[in-house]
Amino acid sequence: MLENTGRTELSSLGEFGLIKHLTQFIEIKNESTKKGIGDDAAVIDYKGKQMVVSTDMLVEGVHFDLAYVPLKHLGFKAVSVNVSDIYAMNAVPKQITVSFAVSNRFSVEAMEELYAGMMKACHKYKVDIVGGDTTTSKSGLVISITVIGEADADDLVYRNGAKEGDLLCVTGDLGAAFVGLQLLEREKQIFMESPGVQPDLGGNDYILERQLKPEARKDIPPLLKMLKVKPTAMIDVSDGLASEILHICTQSEVGCSLYEDKIPIDPAAYNMAREFNLDPTVCALSGGEDYELLFTIDQSDFPKIKANPDISVIGHMTSKREGINLITKGGSSHPITAQGWDSLLK
Amino acid sequence: MLENTGRTELSSLGEFGLIKHLTQFIEIKNESTKKGIGDDAAVIDYKGKQMVVSTDMLVEGVHFDLAYVPLKHLGFKAVSVNVSDIYAMNAVPKQITVSFAVSNRFSVEAMEELYAGMMKACHKYKVDIVGGDTTTSKSGLVISITVIGEADADDLVYRNGAKEGDLLCVTGDLGAAFVGLQLLEREKQIFMESPGVQPDLGGNDYILERQLKPEARKDIPPLLKMLKVKPTAMIDVSDGLASEILHICTQSEVGCSLYEDKIPIDPAAYNMAREFNLDPTVCALSGGEDYELLFTIDQSDFPKIKANPDISVIGHMTSKREGINLITKGGSSHPITAQGWDSLLK
């Protein structure tokens, strides 16, 4: 037994020991999971449904800063950002594999925290951890997750189906995760300069939670099904609204008019953005990490969604020739360019 | 167009540009791949077959040293070690997702080399690259691959089916990859001490290829099917023969007698091991990275495999009570313990 207090070195368990230790409480939830962790591969049976697969890698110092990200939240977020891609296909996530590279800087307890966050997310999204790999890193922590989901072929929604005249919709609100990151960065700077000063994070729960513990929109695919709306195109907002609109427009070969005054921004995020001298609209367009769903629907479906407080119509699709434009609050039109997260330019 | 000579900075393409550039020549080979790269997730349709999934992560400085590993070989190896896990289930790999974290130390040309090696392996194993993620790393290169394969439920072979009296078999030969690594490490040391000295690698092609460009045993599942042999348990040799035998014995709840004189070792590897004052048997037991298949068969299947030069019978399974033992050339019996690669103890 590992003690609950103190630090247990990773080397005391070894690779196989660590895997066994971390995976001991995994319980299979899905009938399709025929064999989980413990063999060369997992076995999954989808019986005629179509399978969807997506993968994401999170790198310490690039995607997260352990100075202010609790490991448990990081584990939760790592799973959330992955299942979000499956919901964006209008599908249901079922299994994940989890690989991480970790240095001896981390204790067994630290990995337990990370894993606990992942397990919490798996419970929330009802997915099974069916495999993974654990290895040494020379420095930072790297997490790679692959998620597998299922859907009937007819239900799948791609990025390339938007048509001229379709309405552009988004769930929830945008920009808060980016504002939350600014807040965490500011408090980190203050703390590094004056370690005695306690971080001033009070009253910003929503913004911080959007950054530290985002939740994927598990509720949206069943909601759309209930409303009898099948989007013509869909994508999740991971790199920022601008980047995602460009993806849909490029793949669907259409243009878009996005209305600034329709972009849903939480009041707390709006005010905090102003405090940082940031334009809240720019935070929504280029901030990213919102993990909301952006989708297009046929105009005839508008009555079905208009009463839903969680879905905003923010624009409409135009001909490709008309371009991809932001119509500002002042009524002028500006081309939207990719300002999204571009890790390699950093 | 990128020029073929010189160095192109990753920042000149950006994340999306790099992905587009690297993936432009991907052609879908499998009917089951309904949608590959380019959406939130890939879509796969297995129509009643069972799906198998495995994942592996390779970290620079831990699993490979770019001082002597050409990037193209690394790409090939990264795919090979992953599909090997699928063959070890007696299944056929069909799709992979590829994620990598990479620093600006690498040029676009370097990533092209890596990708070219992956594509070569994908061609060899007839698998489709259906997704991935590309991100920044603060220092080294990290590659994470998830492979998906298919099989009829009846064909799948797990680690837990070995029975007392079964024969223990292995394909090909063992230990050469480890000896190859020693050779590369030695020449690197010499080069670092005297940069003018050319590496002395001549005449060791087989050993070096086993380390740098291992091939997964794609031929074995169809061979076994043709011979009408279904193994009772199977695993691939990635961590060394000792470690893999322990996995099968633990999961199957049996013991094993392994005969030292039956372990297949290539003569060149044998001689080179001796040159390094290494026991060739220890190289086979603990070296790893051979990517051969280790499996158990019912004794009644022996006539079907005995004439095959590529399969060696190296022992037999006993009762759990009798333990897991190596019977040496001298006839004495020694318990086999896990000496396999244990990255976290390094």
| A67 in B contact zone (CB under 8 Å) | no
Q: How far apart are CA B231 and CA B234, in angstroms?
A: 7
Both B131 and B23 in one domain: the answer is: yes
Q: Which of chain B's residues have a Cβ under 8 Å away from the Cβ of A48?
A: 47-48
pLDDT in tens, A284-320: 999 999 999 999 999 999 999 999 999 999 999 999 9
> B111: closest CA among B20, B224, B238?
B20
Contact call for residues A171 and A291 (beta carbons, < 8 A): no
Partner-chain contact A55 B144, CB within 8 Å: yes
Do the domain assignments include residue B237?
yes
Residues B136 and B41 in one domain: yes
Cα–Cα distance, A5 to B276 (Å, whole number):
45
Q: In this structure, are A128 and A199 located in the same domain?
A: no
Residue A276 and residue A301 in one domain: yes
Among A153, A175, A194, which residue terminates a domain?
A153
Helix, strand counts (H, E) of chain A? 10, 13
pTM: 0.88
Does A34 contact B at CB distance below 8 Å?
yes
* B135, closest residue in chain A (CA to CA): A343
Other CB atoms within a 10 A radius of the CB of residue B193 amount to: 8
> Residue B162: inside a domain, yes or no?
no
Residue B217, chain A, CB below 8 Å: the answer is no
The CATH number assigned to the domain holding A147 equals 3.30.1330.10
CB contact under 8 A, A54 and B62: no
Nearest of A130, A214, A121, A125 to residue A172 by alpha carbon: A214
Same domain, A149 and A180: no
Per-residue pLDDT reduced to its tens digit, A19-75? 677 777 777 777 777 777 767 777 777 777 888 999 999 999 989 999 888 999 999
A201 within some domain: yes
Same structural domain, B195 and B328: yes
User: B282-313 burial string, b = 16+ CB within 10 Å, else e?
Assistant: ebbbbbbbbbbbbbbbeeebeeebeeeeebbe
Query: CB within 8 A of B4, min separation 6: which ones?
Result: none
A interface mutation test: which of B146, B148, B237, B294 has the most A CBs within 10 A?
B146
Give the domain range for residue B187: 167-345
DSSP string, A29-59: --TTEEE-BTBSSEEE--TTPEEEEEEEEEE
Q: In tens digits, what is the pLDDT along chain B, a chain of 346 residues?
A: 444 457 777 777 766 676 677 777 777 777 777 777 767 777 777 777 888 999 999 999 989 999 888 999 999 999 999 999 999 999 999 999 999 898 888 888 888 899 899 999 999 999 988 888 888 888 789 999 999 998 888 899 999 999 999 999 999 999 999 999 999 998 888 878 877 766 666 778 999 999 999 999 999 999 999 999 999 999 999 989 999 999 999 999 999 999 999 999 999 999 999 999 999 999 999 999 999 999 999 999 999 999 999 999 999 999 999 999 999 999 999 999 865 434 333 3
Residue A158, domain member (yes or no)? no
- Please check whether residues B144 and B241 belong to one and the same domain: no
Q: Does residue B161 lie within any of the structural domains?
A: no
Structural domain contains residue A159: no
Residues in chain A with CB shorter than 8 Å from the CB of B16 are 338, 342
- Domain end call among B100, B135, B155: B155
Pair (A211, A104) in one structural domain: no
Domain holding B317: CATH number? 3.90.650.10
Residues B122 and B181 in one domain: no
Residues A218 and A176 in one domain: yes
**What average pLDDT does chain A have?**
88
Residues B213, B310, single domain; the answer is yes
Q: Give the number of other Cβ atoms within 10 Å of residue A297's Cβ.
A: 24
Bridge partners (DSSP) of residue A33 are A44
The answer to ipTM > 0.90 is no
**Same domain? A76 vs A184:** no
The residue from B133, B155, B177 where one domain ends is: B155
- Please list every residue in chain B whose beta carbon sits closer than 8 Å to the beta carbon of residue A138: 59-62, 139-140
Which one of B51, B105, B157, B295 makes the best mutation probe of the A interface by having the most chain A beta carbons within 10 Å? B51
- Per the structure, how many domains does chain B have? 2
3-state secondary structure of A271: helix
Are B319 and B254 spatial neighbours (Cβ–Cβ below 8 Å)?
Answer: yes
Within a domain: A161: no
The answer to whether B56 and B144 are in contact (CB under 8 A) is: yes
Kindly list the residues from chain B whose CB atom is less than 8 angstroms away from the CB atom of residue A42.
52-54
Whether residue B214 is contained in a domain is answered as: yes
